[in-house]
Structure 1
Amino acid sequence: MTTPRTTEGKILLIFYGLFGCAGAFLFFNLFLERIITFLAFILRTIHLRELRRKGLLDDGGRRNSQSSTDDDSLDSWKPSVYWVMLILFLGAVVIACCASAMYQPNERWSYFETVYFCFVAFATIGFGDYVVSQRATDRYDDVHWYRFGNFVFLVVGCCFIYSLFNVTSIVIKQLLNWIIKKLDCRCCYRPKPRARRNAITPGHINKSKGGGGGAGAGGGAPDLTDVDSNYDSEGSRRGSSEMISMRDFLQANKISLAMMQKQLYETAQRGAFRQSDGGGFQGGVGPLAILNRKLGQEDV
């Protein structure tokens, strides 16, 4: 197998691999976008032909007035991810079969071994247990054309498998979202409220007002509506010349902390789990974002 042996060659491979792999990923993403666009055009053409056959669309491409269903709207129509995955799978199988027909007589492997090599090579797994064009016992026939065909099959096969893997990730995301919805999972932990001392109104004042009306008796959250009526921003009572103790003064200064705690709790309740999102995996980065945009899977 061709590998760098000298120190200079290994250093060159590091820099070459850095930019080469980045360029390869860019090429795969461009291929993914083009092949998905092409498949969407084909599936849209089939969809239009089916609408014309049902009489829901005229020959000029305009919808008939008698059909007003939203399901057949062409503006919001997107190709099915399952059809795209099936077409990419069949394309990858055809490429693997054609490559196996070339590898089998030249490498003298069994047909199963050639199909196994195609999957490992196209998926860029690269175990190295099967390597083409490395026999040293006898010479290959037309070795240059054979290596050129190997290059073509590897590039095309990697593009198809790469696209198939990304489309399959959409299906896996749909399956996981369906499982999460069925299990009714929640991603946030909501502890049960415990009985605690009211940080707004001192405890002995609550007791003097009638006993079990405060948080110490009822266990509820602090009532922030009585803040302005009891204390001002400096902690002294309004309309009263009565001196308060240091204990009451320190507890009154906890008003800002209690208000911040309430705001954080309300924010957590709004943002921790949204019913509209279903609690599943949303969004996408890189190739997944391309597929979400092309196949209309943003809200899956």
Structure 2
Amino acid sequence: MAGRAVGCSCPLPRLNQDNGRFALLAAFILLYLLCGAAVFSAIERPPEVRAQRAWHLRLANFTRCHNISRRELGAFLREYEAASVAGVRAEPLRPRWDFPGAFYFVGTVVSTIGFGMATPVTVGGRIFLIFYGLVGCAATILFFNLFLERTITLLAYVLRWFHQRKVQWSATARLPERRGSGHSGEVDSLDDWKPSVYYVMLILGLASLVISCCASAMYSPIEDWTYAESLYFCFVAFSTIGFGDLVSSQRTAYANQSLYRAGNFLLILMGVCCLYSLFNVSSIVIKQFLNWILERMECRRCRWCQGGKKARAHWNAVHPAAVKSRRHEVSVETVYDSETDGRRMSGEMISVKDFLASNKVSLAIMQKQLSETANGGPRQSHSRYHGFSGGVGALAIMNNRLAETSVDR
């Protein structure tokens, strides 16, 4: 009953909302890119064609007046790639604003890469870009967050499966005569198990590295870049920095051009998604490191205060007249969360629960307010997972999914 809408007689099972939202958003972004490419091509392509015609006419007049062949002049100009006339570069590059070029452009806009190899030059194109980027960037960021959710969920289930196999094998090897009771106890303990964020970060890092290496192996021979240059381009593109000094798929023609452009688009999409997920997971490690430093500083301050209290108590005992009445006595003590008492399950270095325990109160309040505002008012959560609450954003999505996967469903 829970899997179907109330009052719905459709015999088909209800689509999972998370998966449906992810699929709908992916389809929307694809349609949005196609429509944006068509609009930008219609706006920016005519000025580009006129500029190219003016350039070729001027080049023909120059060669005729100075008695220089077009081949010699072209070879000379190709040595100076920075030469440009009317915004058209002299080297033989593919058109910027035909449909494939416009599609490549809108892809760099909504992904916030922004190589800068093509920019709108018309007033209409620039105004349209402002409104187009507002919706496109917001939708793409949400897509990256949902991709992170799906990735974290998959990794958590995979790591849990491997850990469960390891626990079962250990229980069978250590206690063959108590195989039944020992096995059930170990399996029950998996309800509170969390995958180490270090393992998740390691897997995402390896995935990003593999994609970068495969993409570099493709770019190096096709674009005539060195392998180091290809790796450099992959990091700049996948991290959405987008310097624009190296840009793929910019020549007039390639061998297997359609296949190469499709592969280039897919590799950039996969690389951006994986590196975005890696950055989000790494930010938790960095935040935990900062919390650890603050805890150490707080511990030192507590020890200093306690030492000062002992010294004052000794001085008051020696000098009773110096004792002053106070309304409230404030004691400084170190408070430990009962959920983070230092125990590590499954031999992991540190769990995500431990990472977020120190700041989960303020984070949960903020995310609860944002979630209630987005849903039109306060609502009761259907379930809670060991102190993790629902929220919005990449960090909240990952917290909820890591918590959910610790409970058998």
105-114 vs 178-187, greater mean Cα deviation? 178-187
Instruction: Tell me whether 1:3 sits opposite 2:119 in the alignment.
Output: yes
Q: Percent identity over the alignment? A: 53
Aligned residue runs from structure 1 range 1-300, under 5 A: 1-55=117-171, 64-66=180-182, 73-135=189-251, 139-184=253-298, 220-221=325-326, 275-276=335-336, 282-283=359-360, 284=363, 286-296=393-403
CA distance in 1, matches of 2:254, 2:162: 46
CA drift of 1:220 comes to: 4.5
CA drift of 1:87 comes to: 0.7
Please say if residues 181 and 280 of structure 1, whose CA atoms lie closer than 8 Å, have aligned partners that are also in contact.
no
CA distance in 1, matches of 2:398, 2:134: 26
CA drift of 1:79 comes to: 1.1
CA drift of 1:135 comes to: 3.8
**Aligned-pair Cα RMSD in Å:** 3.5
CA distance in 2, matches of 1:289, 1:36: 12
Please say if residues 97 and 115 of structure 1, whose CA atoms lie closer than 8 Å, have aligned partners that are also in contact.
yes
Q: Report the 3-state secondary structure (helix = DSSP H, G, I; strand = E; otherwise coil) of the residue aligned with 2:237.
A: helix
CA distance in 1, matches of 2:402, 2:232: 31
CA drift of 1:182 comes to: 2.1
Q: Report the 3-state secondary structure (helix = DSSP H, G, I; strand = E; otherwise coil) of the residue aligned with 2:191.
A: coil
Name whichever structure is richer in helix by fraction: 2
Instruction: Please name the residue that 2:377 is paired with.
Output: none
CA distance in 2, matches of 1:97, 1:111: 9
CA distance in 1, matches of 2:225, 2:324: 76
17-26 vs 285-294, greater mean Cα deviation? 285-294
CA distance in 1, matches of 2:206, 2:160: 19
CA drift of 1:183 comes to: 2.4
CA drift of 1:146 comes to: 1.8
CA distance in 2, matches of 1:142, 1:281: 54
Count of aligned residue pairs for this structure pair: 222
Distance 1:131 1:168, change over 3 A: same
Instruction: Please name the residue that 1:206 is paired with.
Output: none
Distance 1:97 1:15, change over 3 A: same
CA distance in 1, matches of 2:247, 2:184: 59
TM-score, with structure 2 as normaliser: 0.47
Please say if residues 280 and 394 of structure 2, whose CA atoms lie closer than 8 Å, have aligned partners that are also in contact.
yes
CA distance in 2, matches of 1:171, 1:69: 32
Deviations 1:142-175 (A, max 9, x none): 3332222111011110110011111111111222
Unaligned ranges ≥5, structure 1? 58-62, 193-212, 223-261
Instruction: Please name the residue that 1:201 is paired with.
Output: none
CA drift of 1:132 comes to: 1.3
Please say if residues 208 and 271 of structure 2, whose CA atoms lie closer than 8 Å, have aligned partners that are also in contact.
yes
**1:127 partner amino acid:** F
CA distance in 2, matches of 1:186, 1:155: 47
CA drift of 1:181 comes to: 1.9
Deviations 1:18-44 (A, max 9, x none): 111111011111110111111111111
CA drift of 1:55 comes to: 2.1
CA drift of 1:109 comes to: 0.9
Runs of 4+ displaced beyond 6 Å = 67-72
Unaligned ranges ≥5, structure 2? 1-116, 174-178, 309-320, 341-355, 364-391, 405-409
TM-score, with structure 1 as normaliser: 0.63
Deviations 1:85-134 (A, max 9, x none): 11111110110011111111121111011101101100111111211122
